[in-house]
Amino acid sequence: MSIAAKLVSDGKVDYCLTNYEAVKKYNLKFITNPISIDMVWSLFGRKDYFLYS
């Protein structure tokens, strides 16, 4: 789910950055050509909960 794409679809904001799947799901229109980028994702959690020691 893309909260940003939903906000555009609902008319609450004018533009957002999102992915192709969200554009299709919320019936949005690209206003620029899509740009491919390398992206790194990280998972964050509370400091008192450690998955690794």
Supply the DSSP string of 21-41, one letter for each residue. Answer: HHHHHTT---SS---------
Cα–Cα distances in Å, from 21 out to 10, 17, 46?
17, 12, 30
In the structure, what pLDDT confidence band is assigned to residue 53 with cuts at 50, 70 and 90? low
- Note the pLDDT of residue 52: 65
Residue 51 has pLDDT above 80, yes or no: no
Asked if residue 19 is part of any domain, the answer here is yes
Asked if residue 47 is part of any domain, the answer here is no
Q: Is the pTM of this model over 0.75?
A: no
Asked if residue 46 is part of any domain, the answer here is no
Asked if residue 2 is part of any domain, the answer here is yes
Asked if residue 48 is part of any domain, the answer here is no
Q: Give the number of domains in the chain.
A: 1
pLDDT in tens, 15-49: 999 988 999 999 999 999 888 888 888 877 777 77
Domain limits for position 10: 1-34
